[in-house]
């Protein structure tokens, strides 16, 4: 019976070639467009799902209304002191880390070059956001003045990923800061809102000791992440 249906169908298509071509082409384009949309939606919904424990990791943002203009603002930036208050007032917050992006100058053999997607963290960033490591372990940022680089960044700056233990020197605010490389991050996938090439651990209060206008109580130009 199916053979007869196929035969009749083929004969009908053969008699109306132009009509058949238009319909088949339209159907093919429609199915292709549908598949492309489904793949796009699936990709967009996959953002950050590769991070272990993602359902317990939160970014603290600032949503406020200006008293002067009445304009409502929604920012990823939060004051450093906000994280301290969260940990104090909400016992369900297990860990918190304050992180902010900058573009320091990297120094090697007397040569300088700008570094993009560089993150300073006042705390153990990897204990809150467990990014995958290619070298080193999860304690790579457990101490001050330590730094981790992505695989691509390590190869770009040093020509190799075998850089554990080396001194990584950068200039921020005109001051040379030395960090010990303790880990190499795997390159982050594209479906991530995180844009990171380097994470360096600092003492934020000490970092801003020479700039009172950026004191912990008033620094509101950085983004913080926390786990609860």
Instruction: Give per-residue pLDDT as tens, 86-136.
Output: 888 888 888 889 998 899 999 887 788 889 999 999 999 999 999 999 999
pLDDT tens sequence across 131-145: 999 999 989 999 999
- In a shared domain, residues 76 and 170: yes
Residue 83 lies in a domain: yes
- Residue 155 has a pLDDT of 95
pTM of the model: 0.77
Residue 185 lies in a domain: yes
pLDDT at 64 over 90: no
- In a shared domain, residues 143 and 183: yes
Residue 217 lies in a domain: yes
Residue 50 lies in a domain: no
pLDDT at 226 over 50: no
Average pLDDT of the chain is 84
Task: Look up residue 134 and give its two tokens.
Answer: 């290619």
- In a shared domain, residues 35 and 135: no
pLDDT at 52 over 80: yes
- In a shared domain, residues 36 and 69: no
- In a shared domain, residues 32 and 108: no
Residue 206 lies in a domain: yes
- In a shared domain, residues 40 and 67: no
- In a shared domain, residues 34 and 65: no
Residue 49 lies in a domain: no
DSSP 123: S
Residue 7 lies in a domain: yes
pLDDT at 227 over 60: no
Query: Who wins on pLDDT, 70 or 193?
Result: 193
Neighbours of 126 (CB within 10 A): 24
- In a shared domain, residues 99 and 164: yes
- Length of the chain in residues, anyone? 228
| CA 199 to chain CA centroid, nearest Å | 11
- In a shared domain, residues 29 and 116: no
- In a shared domain, residues 128 and 188: yes
- In a shared domain, residues 27 and 59: no
Total number of domains constituting the chain: 2
What distances in angstroms separate CA 171 from CA 8, 53, 54, 105, 117, one per listed residue? 78, 34, 33, 5, 15
Domain assignment of residue 184, given as a range: 55-227
């Amino acid at each position: 019976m199916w053979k007869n249906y196929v035969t009749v169908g083929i004969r009908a298509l053969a008699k109306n070639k132009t009509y058949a071509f238009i319909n088949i082409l339209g159907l093919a384009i429609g199915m292709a467009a549908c598949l492309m949309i489904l793949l796009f939606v699936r990709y967009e919904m996959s953002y950050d799902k590769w991070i272990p424990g993602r359902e317990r990791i939160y970014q603290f943002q600032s949503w406020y209304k200006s008293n002067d203009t009445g304009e409502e603002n929604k920012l990823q930036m939060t004051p450093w002191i906000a994280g301290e208050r969260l940990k104090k007032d909400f016992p369900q917050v297990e860990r918190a880390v304050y992180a902010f992006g900058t573009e320091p100058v990297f120094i090697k053999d007397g040569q300088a070059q700008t570094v993009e997607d560089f993150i300073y963290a006042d705390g153990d960033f990897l204990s809150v956001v467990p990014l995958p490591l290619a070298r080193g372990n999860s304690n790579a940022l457990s101490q001050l003045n330590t730094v981790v680089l992505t695989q691509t960044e390590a190869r770009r700056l040093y020509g190799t990923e075998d850089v554990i233990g080396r001194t990584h020197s950068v200039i921020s605010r005109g001051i040379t800061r030395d960090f010990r490389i303790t880990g190499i991050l795997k390159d982050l996938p594209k479906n991530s809102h995180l844009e990171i090439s380097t994470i360096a651990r600092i003492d934020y209060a000490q970092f801003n000791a020479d700039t009172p206008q950026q004191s912990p109580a008033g620094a509101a130009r950085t983004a913080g992440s926390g786990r609860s």
